[in-house]
Structure 1
Amino acid sequence: MNSSENEPLPQLMLSTTSPTNISNNLSDIVVTNNTDFIPLSERPETYFVPILFFVIFVVGTLGNGTLVWIFMKHRTMRNVPNTYILSLAIADLLVIVSSVPFTAVIYIVDHWPWGEMMCRISETAKDISVGVSIFTLTALSGDRFFAIVDPLKKFHTSGGGRKATRITLCIALSIWALAILCATPAAMGSHIKDIFDPDTNINFSVCYPFPEDWLDGDYAKTMVMAKFLVLYVIPLTIIAIFYMNMANHLIISTRNVPGEAQGTQRQIKARKKVAITVLIFVLAFAICFLPFHMYLLFFYFYPNFNEVYNAFWNYFRIVSFCLFYLHSCSNPVALYWVSGAFRKHFNR
């Protein structure tokens, strides 16, 4: 028996009124006789999830698309922080266009109807988008740290300059390359998994990113833990260190700035505002992705998952799934409320 015997289905799980007993056989996930299968028409998620995904698609496409258009059209918006924000918007558009419309449908038809190629594209786009988002937020946090701690260096001035532009573009492209590298396992391993329930004589097919025979059955656990560390814990820890040191420096520097140095005070205030904007982006990422990682860790590493899985965990899974995609439209909304320049251009 493989160690990855209990496998979560990120884009589909049987909805039940009592705990789901998942078979230990990797190729045979069933709902046992002590569990009632709920038809699609009687599941609340059948109605609210597609509606929510439609809202995510519209808001995300409009917000991120407008952000990209504003950056390309208005030269004054092309500075170091906004270059990173543009990269975030492109990553969000990627997952919105290539994943959101397709994954929403599984709550209507109860299986993956798009074929293996679209399965690979969808899973790969998700991993690329997550990687670009968290690595870019880390770079943004580092940029804000040096802009506040060492503001005399030209690279960190808000206007940028040719050298700053070249360095920022190189960092942004490197982030995309690293994110694509992190998404390579999903591109290679994602496949259509067929599941048969003999009690109801129903066949399910799901888009599943973890081949069961890789790493002697330990591949799923390895990838879940690796993603949790590389795409969540480690970057957020680095960001937290940046912000704690940034806050300490701001407290000290504010006390030492003479009252007559109004220009310096204005610069500090402007840089603090940008740093707060980046912090809002980071908090949105942390909040939207924490439940998703918690669910996967619980599913794969809790020894008696079958016995404790109940309605709470079923809806926790659905909420975490929705929050995962909700993040793709959160940045433009946050930017609209905290950035007067973006709000002005957007309203136009």
Structure 2
Amino acid sequence: MATLSSDTSPTASSAATNSGCNLTGSCGNDAAVQTIGMIHNTPEAFVVPIVFALIFIVGVVGNGLLIFIVLHNKNMRNVPNVFIVSLALGDLLLILISVPFTATIYTFTEWPYGEVMCKIIEFLQALSLGVSVFTLTMLSYDRYIAIVDPMKRHRTSSMAVTIGCAIAVWIVSTVLAVLELFGAHIRVRIYNGVELQICEVYPLSWGTWYEKFHVLFRFLVYFAIPVVIIGVFYVLMARILITSSRKMPGASEGRIAQQIKQMEARKKVARVVLSFVIVFCLCWFPRHVYLLWYYFDPADYNMFWHIFKIFGFCMMFINSCVNPLTLYFLSKQFRKYYNRYLLCCCPGSRSRQSEYSTMYNFNSTDRRSSTNMTVMATQTKC
């Protein structure tokens, strides 16, 4: 019996009927079964695995090193970084387990991994998506409190509470993802007289209405509603920052300078979190657009939608590897540690050096102004 893999989320029907439309311009329902048990001869059959190989390398190194940096360095263990580690852990789990298998979806005409792997992949995708979007919402709320009411944050924020919130995010994400675990299955379809096994998301016994409900539910819960909430937080933050810049409280020049430094430190972290949110939206929006089109406007599947489907499919996995890159370019503190551990074998990095770090790290938003400017003597070693 031959097998055919879908790209997991668009379901089997789109994979089996739409795989016949390739990037070279040839379309036809029989193209999907012409190379049963063989490798597709379409461009995406080779391009997608290369993209996924890069995702795997960058994601494992970036997220793994990010987690190590925070856990290994006490000065990096603070409220925002706990959420960032949670984010990286979800991405790393997806990359290690799901990416190696999903990389072959557009390459082989068969799905050789069985129903168990079909369920695990769907479950991990939903889990990672939930952890990402809910953690970004928590991070945005944390930045909102830090800027709008910093005294409340000092009273209520602690490492134990933060870890508890991160665990709660994982629990909620797991509960929501369990539905994918039960729904995903292997279904046998017959095309041109050939039996094909396809990893599907929606069981027939659940009814056709569930397909539309599921797509709309994921769009609202995992994208639209969280993005709106995050947008509200940032609009309120912007309003507070504009208001505070116009009327500073009566105080000495030294006190005003300290308040400005504190606000700049909080704004820097808020910009990093906002960058995470923007990257998330850019990576996941094409995927949601494709799924909403496919299930709510069943127009003819053409070359545009074929390319758009592959693009959205790759982008949602790219999201799991770009956050470490964002931190590297936007955070001097993280960039320093990345350079230390990644370039530790360079001859110049073996010598002792004392660095006076005049930048604000994520801890600066949790400390008094007197500790905002940190001086760290470091000894680089492999």
TM value normalised by structure 1: 0.87
Check 1:41–1:217 CA distance in 2 against 1; reply closer, same or farther (3 A cut): closer
Question: Superposed, which structure 2 residues align to 1:13-24 within 5 Å?
Answer: 13-16=18-21, 17=25
Structure 1 residue 19: Cα displacement: 6.1
Please point out which of 269, 273, 278 is paired with 1:274: 269
Determine whether 1:207 maps to 2:209: no
Question: Superposed, which structure 2 residues align to 1:228-307 within 5 Å?
Answer: 228-257=219-248, 260=253, 261-302=256-297, 304-305=298-299
AA at the equivalent of 2:209: D
SS of alignment partner, residue 108 of structure 1: coil
Q: Which residue of 2 is the match for residue 3 of structure 1? A: none
Partners of 1:76 and 1:15 lie apart in 2 by: 54
Q: Does the 8 Å CA contact 1:212/1:219 hold for their aligned counterparts?
A: no
Structure 1 residue 9: Cα displacement: 2.8
Partners of 1:330 and 1:251 lie apart in 2 by: 31
Partners of 2:49 and 2:26 lie apart in 1 by: 24
Please point out which of 307, 310, 313 is paired with 2:305: 313
Structure 1 residue 339: Cα displacement: 0.7
Structure 1 residue 41: Cα displacement: 4.2
Please point out which of 158, 166, 182 is paired with 1:164: 158
Q: Does the 8 Å CA contact 1:292/1:324 hold for their aligned counterparts?
A: yes
1:48-71, CA deviations, whole angstroms, 9 ceiling, x for partnerless residues?
A: 100000000000000000001011
SS of alignment partner, residue 49 of structure 1: helix
Question: Superposed, which structure 2 residues align to 1:26-175 within 5 Å?
Answer: 31=29, 40-155=39-154, 164-175=158-169
Partners of 2:246 and 2:198 lie apart in 1 by: 59
Gaps of 5+ in 2: 1-8, 341-382
Structure 1 residue 242: Cα displacement: 0.3
Q: Does the 8 Å CA contact 1:110/1:204 hold for their aligned counterparts?
A: no
Partners of 2:124 and 2:80 lie apart in 1 by: 24
Please point out which of 171, 180, 183 is paired with 2:177: 183
Q: Which residue of 2 is the match for residue 325 of structure 1? A: 317
Structure 1 residue 257: Cα displacement: 2.5
Greater relative contact order (Cα < 8 A, sep 6+): 1
AA at the equivalent of 2:210: Y
Partners of 1:36 and 1:346 lie apart in 2 by: 45
Structure 1 residue 273: Cα displacement: 0.5
Structure 1 residue 107: Cα displacement: 2.0
Q: Which residue of 2 is the match for residue 28 of structure 1? A: none
The range that moved more, 43-52 or 249-258, is 249-258
Q: Does the 8 Å CA contact 2:131/2:170 hold for their aligned counterparts?
A: yes
Q: Does the 8 Å CA contact 1:14/1:37 hold for their aligned counterparts?
A: no
Check 1:243–1:38 CA distance in 2 against 1; reply closer, same or farther (3 A cut): farther
Q: Does the 8 Å CA contact 2:146/2:153 hold for their aligned counterparts?
A: no
Partners of 1:271 and 1:322 lie apart in 2 by: 33
What is the root-mean-square deviation in Å for CA atoms of aligned residues?
2.1
SS of alignment partner, residue 109 of structure 1: coil
Larger radius of gyration: 2
SS of alignment partner, residue 189 of structure 2: strand
AA at the equivalent of 2:66: L
Q: Which residue of 2 is the match for residue 219 of structure 1? A: 210
Structure 1 residue 194: Cα displacement: 2.5
Q: Percent of counterpart pairs with the same letter?
A: 42
Structure 1 residue 335: Cα displacement: 0.6
Gaps of 5+ in 1: 1-6, 21-30
SS of alignment partner, residue 107 of structure 2: helix
How many residue pairs were aligned?
319
1:120-149, CA deviations, whole angstroms, 9 ceiling, x for partnerless residues?
A: 111101100000000000000000001000
Q: Which residue of 2 is the match for residue 24 of structure 1? A: none
Partners of 2:154 and 2:210 lie apart in 1 by: 42
Partners of 1:195 and 1:298 lie apart in 2 by: 23
